[in-house]
Amino acid sequence: MKRSLAALSALLLALSASACGGDDAEESGPVTLTLAGWSLATTPEFKTLADGFRAAHPDIAVELKEYDAANYDTQMIADLAAGKAPDIYVQKNLKNFYTYQNGKQLLDVSDVAGKLGSGVGGLSSYQVDGKTWAIPYRQDSWVLFYNKALFDKAGVKHPDGSWTWDDYGTVAKELTTKLKAAGDKALGTYQHTWQSTSQGFALGQTAGADLQSGDFGFLKPYYEKALALQAAGAQVSFGDATTNSLTYQAQFGKQSAAMMPMGTWYIATLLSQQAKGDADTFEWGIAPAPQATKSTTGTSATPVTFADPTGLGINPKISESRIEAAKSFLAYAASADAAKALAGIGVTPADTATAVDTIFTLKGAPTDDLSKFTFTTHDTKPENPVSKYTAPLQNVLKDLHTAVLSGSKPIDAAITEAQDRAKNEVLSK
């Protein structure tokens, strides 16, 4: 997949000269836009945006084009190269944004960005050379989900927003011990197998950390803590999680873990699964992600976390007659009306402040003040800082992640190997 994605990226550059040719034929009658999405049966945000926009613009229809969620970028790059991509397509994360922008596969939407309110998060991530190339409609942030019932069963105090990673580790071990004594097999926490579970926090919370520097020493404290949780039995081992293909939804939703660091996108999934009976019914809440130091803890501070925005860009091959309609769609997607509509299905919009009153009135959502504070108050750093080096560096770091958590390499050796690979395979190119 890595080789095919790189080849397709090169093809985009080769075809970029024709990217703005478009279809110059005049269109008459109602306008129809095409919009990319994935897993449409279980991911309602795309239809929610399309329906909301159509209600405000009855003369413009929006047709959805479905892609495979796991292979979205590979398929999209292929469609762009073949001239078959939709008018509007999603920037699923920032990892491959450089590929699209540098390959001239995004229309300049600076005029749309200039009219947005200051509450729209993630916009700066799409700005290159003084221009804006996509508009965020979602801005998730990683937080700490916790099962209030399991905390109460163990007799452990709920999170209060003051935790560092050391506090979190101590509580995870305490929960594991006390739940076992109470006859419950749930572990204290579940950290999913993704590299971002350790690396995203390390990059976002470590002063001076720079992915592009090729110096990955900032990762060590976070991996030390992750390995300590595994060794204590407070977290399922990486080997068991990967071998058994554990899902984070089942680990938390079926109450196999009392806590779980995860992105706010899980709110919508958990509410939906509890309503359908696919997850157990229990009271839960969200708290700020554990912090590197006490200086960013407490409700008078702004906790530091991470996540990429999710944005929408316009295919530059779109016909001239549909450009204004497409820009209107992007403006709607970042609007307060769209934020409320997305919040109504549990999705975290780019304008979180507008959505808080909606999302916390949903059936099954928490109502406590800390959950509301957590949802609205955070300094969210990008997981994938935009650069031509980001995607290949993340591939190197994925191997480091697997080596460390599987126990096949000590932390220091894995970091040294990753730094050598970054220097020789990526940064010297």
Helices (H), 137-279: 148-154, 165-181, 196-205, 220-232, 238-243, 248-253, 266-276
pLDDT value, residue 28 = 54
pLDDT value, residue 111 = 97
Residues 323 and 309 sit within 8 Å (Cβ to Cβ): no
Q: Which residues contact residue 91 at a Cβ distance below 8 angstroms, ignoring those fewer than 6 apart?
A: 97, 100, 126, 134, 309, 310, 311, 312, 313
Packing angle, helices 320-333 and 336-343, rounded to 10: 60
Taking Cα atoms as reference points, which of 90, 83, 75 lies closest to residue 19?
83
DSSP-based three-state secondary structure for 135: strand
Taking Cα atoms as reference points, which of 331, 356, 336 lies closest to residue 346?
356
Task: Specify the pTM.
Answer: 0.88
Instruction: With cut-offs at 50, 70 and 90, classify the pLDDT of residue 47.
Output: very high
- How far does CA 55 lie from the centroid of its chain? 28
> Residue 299 above 50 pLDDT?
yes
> In which residue are the tokens 């997981």 written?
383
- What would the pLDDT profile of 384-402 be if each residue is shown by its tens digit? 999 999 999 999 999 999 9
> Residue 223 above 90 pLDDT?
yes
Residue 386, both tokens = 């935009």
In the 3-class helix/strand/coil scheme, how is 185-202 assigned residue by residue? Answer: CCECCCCCCCCHHHHHHH
Residue 199, both tokens = 């690396």
Q: Residues 202-216, buried b or exposed e (16+ Cβ, 10 A)?
A: bbbbbeebebeebeb
> In which residue are the tokens 């919508």 written?
268
Percent with pLDDT over 70 in the chain: 93
Kindly list the structural domains of the chain, giving each domain's residue range(s) and its CATH number in brackets, ordered by start.
29-140+309-380 (3.40.190.10), 142-305+388-427 (3.40.190.10)
Instruction: Report the distance separating Cα 359 and Cα 344, nearest Å.
Output: 6
Instruction: Report the distance separating Cα 289 and Cα 122, nearest Å.
Output: 19
pLDDT value, residue 20 = 42
Mean pLDDT of 240-247: 97
Instruction: Report the distance separating Cα 9 and Cα 249, nearest Å.
Output: 33
Instruction: Report the distance separating Cα 141 and Cα 10, nearest Å.
Output: 32
Of 22-26, 35-39, 50-54, 220-224, which gets the smallest average pLDDT? 22-26
> Residue 1 above 50 pLDDT?
no
> Residue 329 above 90 pLDDT?
yes
Instruction: With cut-offs at 50, 70 and 90, classify the pLDDT of residue 429.
Output: confident
Q: Is the dihedral of CA 220, 242, 229, 297 positive or negative?
A: positive
- What would the pLDDT profile of 23-43 be if each residue is shown by its tens digit? 444 445 689 999 999 999 888
Helix (H) or strand (E) holding 213: none
pLDDT value, residue 17 = 43
Kindly provide the residue ranges of all beta strands, DSSP E only, lying in 315-395, ordered along the sequence.
379-381
DSSP string, 79-118: HHHHT---SEEEE-SSTTHHHHHHTT-S---HHHHTTS-T
Instruction: With cut-offs at 50, 70 and 90, classify the pLDDT of residue 21.
Output: very low
- What would the pLDDT profile of 61-113 be if each residue is shown by its tens digit? 999 999 999 899 999 999 999 999 999 999 999 999 999 999 999 999 999 99
> Residue 121 above 80 pLDDT?
yes
pLDDT value, residue 23 = 45
pLDDT value, residue 19 = 43
